[in-house]
Amino acid sequence: MDKAKKKKQSSSPLAEKAAPVSTRKDFITLASVIAALSVMLLHTNNCFWWMNVGDPRWPFANVIETVFYFAAPLYFMISGATLINYRDRYSTGQYFAKRALKILPAFFAWNFIALLYQAFYKKTVVFANVTLLDFIKGAFSSQYLGIYWFLPAIICMYLVLPLFAAVEKDKRRKIFTYFVLVCLVCNKLIPLIITLFKWEFPWPFADQGIWLNYVVYAVLGYLISEYEAPAWMRWTVYGLALAAMILHGIVTLEDSRNIGSVSYLLKGYEKLPSYLYAAGVFLFVKEISDDVMKWKPLRFVVEKMAKYTFVTYLMHWYLMEMFLDTFHATWFTDLFGCAPIDVLVVGSNLWYRLLTPFLLYAVCMGVAWVLRKLPLVKYIVP
């Protein structure tokens, strides 16, 4: 009976054999750095949102946006890959305590910093008029800095993951795979088909709550990280990912031209192409991580960068905007004897978009290293 059971398990699409701990650690380390750099590449490519879609520079901005669109989903997938097994290390009470200590001080502190930034630097908010309730509402709605939408999203995901961690390990592969497939087909694929063909059909799974979007990424990340897929499945995932990326880029390009603004037909982390593309990238990083991390100089750099992925996300936007604002500053125009330079001119420059993220990352690492040496401040610099 045991032999038959083992034979049946070994023939399943995802083998029960998990990757070695050291290999999985390298994979997660590399994935986190790639995700962090990709976020910055998306943000320095912000002209994608500013620029008129008829501008000849916009199509290449769309290419950059499309290629690095996996960035935020990778963070959710990494969380699923690293946290669903938390019961192997500590209790659920300790899990919540650790997550709270990691995310809540950063959430409130950096939203307060964002409020100060908007009030005293950008002058878009009157600080004296902001009540405590206003601040809390603004923090959870990412009112003070749009990129902080990720913080309440990750909090939501942290609250849900213990439900999946409670599933017995020998049942997770089948249950999690079923969950992901049901969500992607019922909540993503069928509503997309209804939208594309403009059918009027009251599909009951079209809106299941935004929390589900992040949890699906997390569970998908766990499956990819924990189990080894056969070659045919890997190539199927890669094929679907490539098709999703190309379709996302082309449809966004053409539909945006048709409507005169950025199209959201396939754009959005809740849309099916985003899941397929992120899954392919995550799997690809897993497959190449061993070879990449064997090169000691690169391993050294990646491991150093990995210690600062979260804090670079929290602080890089301020540095990026301040850098762009210097081209308007009086001291800059006086120093170089030039007229103020339009932000769009600088922001749409290809070298700025592709190289600035690496400089930003280095500067953020340096600032974070200093802040982590300061009492109390270090608690908001994760």
- Residue 346 pLDDT: 86
Lookup: tokens for 36: 């962090």
Token pair listed for 270 = 């809740």
- Name the pLDDT band for 256 (thresholds 50, 70, 90): very high
User: Which two tokens mark 204?
Assistant: 């009951």
For residues 341 and 327, give the distance between their C-alpha atoms in angstroms, rounded to a whole number: 5
Contact between 313 and 39 under an 8 Å Cβ cutoff? The reply is: yes
State the amino acid at position 2 in one-letter form. D
Mean per-residue pLDDT for 294-301?
94
Round to whole Å and give the CA distance between 168 and 160.
16
Residue 364: band (very low, low, confident or very high) from pLDDT cuts 50, 70, 90: very high
pLDDT of the residue at 11: 39
**Residue-averaged pLDDT of the chain:** 90
pLDDT band at 333 (very low <50, low <70, confident <90, very high): confident
CA distances from 364 to 294, 297, 308, 309, 312 (A): 26, 21, 8, 10, 5
Beta bridge partners of 228: 15
Residue 185 has pLDDT above 80, yes or no: yes
Q: Would you say how long the chain is, in residues? A: 382
Q: How far apart are CA 179 and CA 128, in angstroms?
A: 48
Q: Where are the alpha helices (DSSP H) in the chain?
A: 2-10, 21-44, 47-50, 58-67, 71-83, 92-116, 132-140, 150-165, 169-182, 190-196, 211-226, 231-259, 272-293, 296-306, 309-325, 330-336, 343-347, 350-371
Residue 7's pLDDT is 43
- The token pair at 281 is 């990238």
Q: What would the mean pLDDT of 214-234 be, rounded to a whole number?
A: 95
Per residue in 48-87, pLDDT tens?
Answer: 999 999 999 999 999 999 999 999 999 999 999 999 999 9
Give pLDDT, residue 207: 63
**pLDDT score of 23:** 65
What is the DSSP-derived secondary structure letter of residue 270?
T
Q: Is the pLDDT of residue 10 over 80?
A: no
B/e letters for 307-337, b = 16+ CB within 10 Å, e = fewer, are: ebbbbbbbbbbbbbbebbeebeeeeeeeeee
